[in-house]
Chains A and B, each alone.
Chain A
């Protein structure tokens, strides 16, 4: 190797490292693998959040693409992702947004949705968190993507932002459509 070429070794080394870091930016090494994927949605019946007398069951979550969001007013990350959920619910007309209000105060939840916009076509209340247990939910927010057959195709733990949406949900939605 000529002397001049040798001097480019540090720069080349840096270029490789830069590539690696770029790769690392888009791969989170810490995430826990999602479970429940490719399993059917558990069987459930829960009260409608806005009408105590009415109920919502898993049968209603079939025959289309559903995005099920587990949320609560006590969880700050849910507050953070809320405007974005509203935004995508207006954009993705063929996806039915379902909100599971998790271990929350129903009145507070209704006020919250009225105040800040309601992205959910279907809202149900999981007061005691038992549906959460069936779904393997450990906190909020968590978001599930369900296909026309009622099978869970993806689960996201944590708040959804533009990057999560574009990277995780958009490709899957393209497949499902």
Chain B
């Protein structure tokens, strides 16, 4: 009964979503307050039924109801309860259910937190979100229904959750990632509403910013968790592989980052309007593209779901409708939202434009790399296949990010409209000098060797950090007291600086880990020991151990530091009962300044095993930096002005009112 109830809830949610897609939007054209007002209760209804459907699937998992095909394929009576719950989103159908539930939740959140917005905007935004919800719900119900049953051939035991997914990091990774992906649908819906109405002003940007920040922060955390997971679960000691599935989560993030900066310009200066709209559409489109690539098998990857081209076709059709329609709408309506404030070559606007170009170029390059095998095959035929390796991405990405870090420092000190070169020189002189001197000096002092890459990285990190500090000091210098000055700065300012500081921490982690990790894959017999730096690793052999749903070969590695016993590490090879899959379980000693990473390889006879021993300095800083960035995003969205300031429609400071689209269009055509 419960699965049927879940199925019924999905159907009802679909009906409500269809109503919501049509009625409030129609209300904006007929000017019917009643129809527009339906948006809010309908989004509550969709949300309630999605929660119900999700609860039904969770209950089927917790009760081992293997008559539900999805449960039978992804669970097992031996599976620990915690993973039974997490298995709800462990494969295609259930993760799609989570995806739609999250979409419904964002819609519901918009309806709750939009009391100050004009009703017609709310109606349009909610309608657009409901169109997406309806599309994905229909896709789920008709091609990938998680409640499909096998009543005739009910198995007595399930085939278990993929062991790679039986891990804390990966159970929380998808919800965060989806919160981010789907969160961009809010900015997307606002952008569509702006195109439809032609009203794109400072108020619009101010409504959109907190939602974009929230989605971006979730996506940051989601990607970070994924990276952390691949670090300790895949057993290779790497934290980023430029795998297609990683790439498709990274692209919306990069575009989302560009969107956050471009929204700032649109809010403060009323320019870059159509560009901002395009970014908002692109961020969500790339999220959906990610969903397609992961679920269609069009590109192979270790993380991809099982492939099914029929599903792929339907999903592709869905993308065609949603993205195609919105881009065409953009092409037709973008001139209506053009801004026309002026700015000079060395204004903050231009520096943020450079930031946007760099981020978009990086996205385009990653997209090209991800799709290149496909492009090559399409042109040269199946016999000539190509693969794109990490060197491609590193060659492109590192210089672009170095440029981005440099301009980040400059932009902080630049002013809107026009910055005098004198002002920049004065402010940056000291920061530049300090970061160049220390950037060269510090690595030389610590390692007593010359490594230009490290020096550049350290220099850039200091450039950002000193810039952040100096800016905060400057901003508080004229106040009565420092403390009053510090308290006077808004949360969105601190959020920005925190996120930028996070960037510096992240770069430090990435650079130092990549250059100074010591990685040794060695063949060890019991009693053998290997020294890496201050640490000595002694292999104590491998014993069998029984886990709840697996058998493990567990190694003992005694680690000593400078001759003193430090700790025992137990990396394992696990063989899961139900599927027979073997899984490497690394043992990691995490520290603020370095990680010890050990993993068990394969046996090589005579009790000898290949053992992976890594000492990775500053690897923790990668995740710390990313979390600081996310925290910055959250802090910024808590800024007072998003909550208390009454919203004044079409009343921007500089930009001319956009209520006369024809006039603006005429101007564009003339110029």
Contacts and interface: CB of A to CB of B under 8 A. Distances in A.
- A and B: real partners? yes
Interface in A23-76: 23-30, 76
Interface string B287-302: 0000010001111100
Interface in A74-94: 76
A3 B332 CA distance: 11
B330 A10 contact: yes
Nearest to B309: A25
B384 to A, nearest CB: 12
A10 B278 contact: yes
A42 B305 CA distance: 37
A23 B299 CA distance: 11
Contacts of A7: 274, 330-332, 334-335
A135 B378 CA distance: 31
Contacts of B323: 14
A171 to B, nearest CB: 15
A29 B373 contact: yes
Contacts of B298: 21, 24-25
Interface in A1-16: 3-4, 7-8, 10-11, 14-15
B511 interface: no
A25 B296 contact: yes
Contact of B374 (A3, A20, A76): A20
Contact of B309 (A17, A26, A29): A26
A25 B320 CA distance: 15
A1 B285 CA distance: 26
A40 to B, nearest CB: 24
A10 B331 contact: yes
Contact of A11 (B309, B312, B327): B327
B316 A8 contact: no
* B interface, size bucket: 35 or more
Given A23-B374, A25-B313, A3 B319 contact: no
B324 interface: yes
A21 B334 CA distance: 27
B159 interface: yes
B320 A27 contact: no
B309 A22 contact: no
A11 B377 contact: no
B316 A21 contact: yes
Given A3-B668, A10-B278, A18-B320, A27 B377 contact: yes
Contacts of B669: 3
A29 B320 CA distance: 23
Nearest to A163: B309
A4 B328 contact: no
B382 interface: yes
Interface residues of A, number: 23
B310 interface: yes
Nearest to A167: B309
B375 interface: yes
Given A3-B335, A8-B331, A28-B297, A20 B324 contact: no
A18 B316 contact: yes
A7 B274 CA distance: 10
A112 B429 CA distance: 81
A29 to B, nearest CB: 5
Contacts of A30: 300
A11 B327 CA distance: 5
Contacts of B610: none
A87 B285 CA distance: 40
B385 interface: yes
A170 to B, nearest CB: 16
A28 B296 CA distance: 11
Given A11-B324, A20-B374, 4 more contacts: A18-B320, A25-B313, A25-B316, A28-B307
Interface of B: 159, 274, 278, 281-282, 285, 292, 296-300, 307, 309-310, 312-313, 316, 319-320, 323-324, 327-328, 330-332, 334-335, 371, 373-375, 377-378, 382, 385, 668-669
25 contacts: A3-B335, A3-B668, A4-B331, A10-B281, A10-B282, A17-B371, A18-B320, A20-B374, A20-B378, A21-B298, A21-B316, A22-B316, A25-B312, A25-B313, A25-B316, A26-B309, A27-B374, A27-B378, A27-B382, A28-B297, A28-B307, A29-B300, A29-B373, A30-B300, A163-B309
Closest 6 CB pairs between A and B? A24-B298, A11-B327, A30-B300, A7-B331, A8-B331, A24-B374
